[in-house]
Amino acid sequence: MVDVRKDEHGFSESEPGFDAERVERARLVDAFLAAMGEADNPGTSRKFGSFMRELTGQQQDRFWETKVEGDDDGVLVFADGRHGWERSFRYSDRPMSPDDEISPERLADALRAILDGNGVARPAELA
């Protein structure tokens, strides 16, 4: 039996390195969020539409953004841990193709840029 989901979406969790990269990205984002939290989350922006969420008693969507040298697209990192290329968030909060997945190396570059731009000390994971 052929897994049609792979053909439809272009990538699958069973691909080599998928889980390892996802774990590494989570580790980097966790360290970033901890450092930013200790510094009282400087430099966040509020996502459009977040005001309505706040009015209904939900948490605001707050995020940081940056561009990594050599990439045309920006990187967004939300305070709840969602992260990725800016273009991918235009249509979904979840990656839909391999191009939506940011490599751990590029993510680390973006996280360092955000930390440095806000004067927050880098945690050991992002030194």
Q: What is the pLDDT of residue 5?
A: 46
Number of folded domains in the chain? 1
Q: What is the pLDDT of residue 4?
A: 46
Q: What is the pLDDT of residue 56?
A: 74
Residue 99 in domain? yes
CA–CA dist 77, 35 (Å, integer): 13
Residue 26 in domain? yes
Print the domain residue range for 105. 17-126
The per-residue pLDDT string of the chain (127 residues; one tens digit each, 9 = 90 and over) reads 444 444 444 555 566 677 888 899 999 999 999 999 999 999 998 876 666 666 776 666 889 999 987 777 899 999 999 898 888 777 666 676 667 788 999 999 999 999 999 999 999 999 8
Residue 105 in domain? yes
* Structural contact between residues 63 and 74, judged by C-beta atoms closer than 8 angstroms: no
How many Cβ atoms from other residues are within 10 Å of residue 28's Cβ?
22
Residue 35 in domain? yes
